[in-house]
Every structure is written in C-alpha cells, then in structure tokens.
C-alpha cells in the first residue's frame, strides 16, 4: 500500500474509535445536570455569596499560585523503539542496554495514557518522544500508526505540547517531512555523532557528513525544531576531528544539541575492540573538559544543550557500561568545570599577588556549580593563586555570570 492509502485507513480507524468513546462518555454522564443541581441545593450557598472570597480561599489561591510556578517544568514521555529500521549495527550502539527495553509498547495510546496520568499536575508541558531507532525508516504502516496514536492523544491532552523523534540523516526527505508535519511532529533529532567521514566509516554509521548537512537544512526549511546528537571520543577521534564536528554544528545552527561522550557498552562491537586493545575511550576528566569547552560556544549562539552524557539508571543496574566516561552526575561535573574555567579566565585579568582571601559572586542557585564537588573548584583556585575563596549569591547577576572580589 502507498503512504496515502495507509493514511486513509488509519484515519478511518481512528475516527471510529473516537466515535465509540464519545458515545460511551455521553451515556456515562447522562445524569450530571441533576447531580449538580442537588449538590448546589444541599450546600446551602446563596447566590449572593458565590463571588465572595474567604480568607481560607485567598490562602489556598496563593498556595496554588506558588504550586503553579513550581510546576512550570517540562517533561518527556519516551517511547523506545530500539533498533527499529536501523540498517546496520553501529559499533557503539546497544539500544536494549541503553533503554532497558527490547520492544516498543504494544498499545501506544494506552502507554501514553498511563504515562501522562503519572505526570498529571506536576509539569506544565509534556512532549511525546520516539527514541532508540531510526523512526522515519520504519515501515510506513507502523510509522503512521504510531504517529496517528500520538497525534490523537495529544489532541485530548492540552499539556502535550509536541511530538519529537530521532532518526538517521539519510532517512530524511521531503515526502517524509510532509508526513511528519501532517501528524503534528514538532522536533526531529538527528544521530549525527561526527562530521568526520573517516570516523563515520570506522563506526559503521552508514551515512556521510554531507547527509547530515542536507537533512539538517531541509528539516529547518520545513519549520521543525532541529536537534543534533554528538558523540565525541569515537574510534579515530582526535582533538582536531572533535573541533571539526563542533565547528560544523555551530555553522548549521541547530536549535538544540545533545552531547554523549562515547562509552563502551556491553554487547557491542566496540566492546570487542576495547577488550582487544583496539580502542581507548576518553577518561571522564577528558570528556568533561571537551564538553565544558564547547557548551559555552553553543549557548553563546543560542543553541541549547539539553543533555550531556549518558544518564540511564538501567545501565548501572544492568552493568551495561564496560568502560569510558560514564558518570551519573556527568552534566553537573561539566557545569562545575565551566564555572571553574570562567573563574580562571577572570583571575588571569586580575592581580592576585599578596591577596589571601576573595569572594566569588554567582547568580541565584549556582553556588554548588562554583564550589565544585567536595569544594574541588575552590581547592584548584587556591592551589593556582594562593587565594582562599568563598562563594555567595548575587541576585543581580545574570544566569551563569560570575563576579570576583579581591
């Protein structure tokens, strides 16, 4: 069947399902008006009292407003489709270990309903995300079924603000983008990994850097949010090739990036390379240094870094990581390093000779980033300058801004 025919069949099935739900809902709520009248009568509330607020109500509203502000957070409902449509085995990849999932949910709609109910009231916006495979390479019938269920569910839940998916650069074309647009997809993540063609060959990615460039520009042209996934530390990576990847990413100006320093996961070809002495992964310190070097460059160009490092608890529980820069708080280590770099850069402009103490001012909520784990940043600054620093908040400073007083 052609994609257009599959769409018609899917839409017809979805309409019938929605019609049945409406009939059931109408039958269930048939006595609602009588119940409302009875409740109002029994409560003893006069019409003239309806617009009056008691002290208790005012307090409750104030508490609710504070609660609402706390809930101004974003969440993602991830639907893992491990290895679906992947044409080959990338040397570093084992999606079953990363996601803890072997197969996608049998009923996407039911899965979404259960997940959304669990998030209800705690987040102001929620995305539906298809991760773990090459989504746009899935057979059309299955892909359209997934998209249709996600779109229909989104229509019934105002807190759902978008549908995102991850795929390969060589699985993007105009026809696919037209389809994704029709089903309400808002963001597309490309597994870019590297812009060095030699490294792409060594890791058996099966696409070229040019594929990524072309797909990125087409995605942006169609108005989707573009996210690029980068993986420094792949086999053959050097300081120069990593710089090349980061520079090309800056040139393409995606909306967001994810940085996953390469780790060795069990059950992958990369594990064999590592055990045979053919691959040496980055240390945690090296990976932190690389991320801390390039994240400020991305953010200076309004490219948001939405994730740094692998954070799946499944990996720890299943002993999925064999070697490499895996740390449960990797992102926090990177932010601490960024703050240390800022402080060192500022101190290079200052005369610290003869100074014994100093104060580093940071924006609200960022003291721990400046002090570092177990005060490691302050210890490093003392070793380099001889100055004993304390850290304080200054609400007038911009986010991630620091100020040093000697």
DSSP string covering 125-156: EEEEEEESS-GGGS-HHHHHHHHHHHHHHHHH
In a domain, 401, yes or no: yes
Q: What is the largest CA-CA distance in the chain?
A: 83
Containing H/E element for 293?
A: helix 284-300
Interatomic CA distance for residues 162 and 148, integer angstroms: 13
The DSSP 8-state label assigned to residue 397 in this structure reads: S
CATH number at residue 110: 3.20.20.70
pLDDT given at position 59: 43
89 and 147 assigned to the same domain: yes
318 and 356 assigned to the same domain: no
HEC-encoded secondary structure of 71-114: CCCEEEEEEECCCCCCCCCCCCCCHHHHHCCCCCCCCHHHHHHH
pLDDT given at position 158: 87
In this structure, is the dihedral angle defined by the CA atoms of residues 253, 98, 203 and 294, taken in order, positive or negative?
positive
- Read off the pTM: 0.79
175 and 279 assigned to the same domain: yes
322 and 357 assigned to the same domain: no
State which of 274, 298, 328 marks the end of a domain.
328
Interatomic CA distance for residues 298 and 286, integer angstroms: 19
pLDDT given at position 147: 95
Residues of the chain below pLDDT 70: 1-72, 82-87, 95-102, 311-319
126 and 189 assigned to the same domain: yes
Spatial contact of 395 and 366, defined as CB atoms under 8 Å apart: no
241 and 377 assigned to the same domain: no
How confident is the model over 353-390, as pLDDT tens digits? Answer: 999 999 999 999 999 999 999 999 999 999 999 999 99
In this structure, is the dihedral angle defined by the CA atoms of residues 150, 154, 159 and 164, taken in order, positive or negative?
positive
Domain that includes residue 391, residue range: 350-405
What is the phi/psi pair of residue 253, to 5°? Answer: 50, 60
pLDDT given at position 377: 98
Question: What is the number of domains present in the chain?
Answer: 2
The percentage of residues in the chain with a pLDDT greater than 70, rounded to a whole number, is: 77
pLDDT given at position 98: 56
207 and 167 assigned to the same domain: yes
pLDDT given at position 92: 84
323 and 355 assigned to the same domain: no
In a domain, 55, yes or no: no
pLDDT given at position 232: 97
């Amino acid at each position: 069947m052609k994609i257009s025919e599959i769409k018609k069949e899917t839409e017809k099935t979805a309409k019938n399902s929605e019609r049945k739900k409406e009939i059931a809902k109408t039958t269930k709520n048939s006595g609602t008006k009588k119940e409302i009248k009875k409740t109002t009568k029994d409560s003893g509330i006069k019409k003239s009292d309806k617009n009056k607020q008691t002290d208790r109500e005012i307090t409750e509203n104030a508490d609710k407003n504070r609660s609402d502000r706390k809930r101004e957070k974003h969440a993602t409902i991830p639907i893992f489709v491990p290895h679906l449509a992947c044409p080959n085995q990338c040397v570093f990849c084992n999606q079953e270990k990363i996601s803890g999932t072997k197969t996608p949910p049998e009923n996407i709609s039911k899965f979404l309903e259960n997940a959304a109910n669990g998030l209800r009231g705690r987040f102001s916006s929620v995305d539906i995300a298809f991760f773990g495979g090459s989504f746009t390479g899935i057979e059309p019938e299955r892909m359209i079924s997934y998209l249709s269920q996600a779109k229909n569910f989104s229509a019934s839940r105002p807190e759902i603000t978008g549908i995102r998916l991850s795929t390969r650069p060589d699985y993007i074309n105009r026809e696919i983008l037209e389809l994704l647009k029709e089903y309400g997809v808002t963001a597309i993540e490309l597994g870019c990994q590297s812009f060095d063609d030699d490294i792409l060959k060594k890791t058996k990615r099966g696409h070229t850097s040019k594929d990524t460039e072309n797909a990125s520009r087409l995605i942006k042209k169609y108005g989707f949010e573009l996210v690029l996934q980068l993986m420094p530390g792949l086999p053959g990576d050097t300081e120069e090739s990593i710089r090349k990847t980061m520079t090309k990413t800056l040139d393409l100006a995606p909306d967001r990036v994810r940085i996953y320093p390469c780790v060795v996961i069990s059950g992958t070809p990369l594990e064999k390379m590592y055990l045979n002495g053919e691959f040496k992964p980055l240390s945690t310190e090296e990976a932190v240094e690389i991320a801390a070097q390039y994240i400020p460059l991305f953010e200076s160009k309004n490219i948001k870094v939405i994730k740094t490092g692998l954070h799946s608890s499944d990996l720890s529980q299943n002993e999925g990581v064999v070697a490499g820069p895996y740390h449960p708080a990797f992102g926090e280590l990177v932010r601490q390093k960024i703050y240390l770099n800022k402080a060192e850069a500022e101190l290079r402009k200052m005369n610290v000779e003869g100074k014994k103490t100093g104060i580093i001012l940071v924006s609200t909520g960022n003291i721990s980033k400046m002090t570092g784990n177990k005060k490691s940043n302050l210890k490093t600054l003392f070793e380099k300058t001889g100055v004993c620093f304390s850290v304080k908040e200054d609400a007038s400073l911009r986010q991630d801004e620091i100020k040093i007083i000697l």
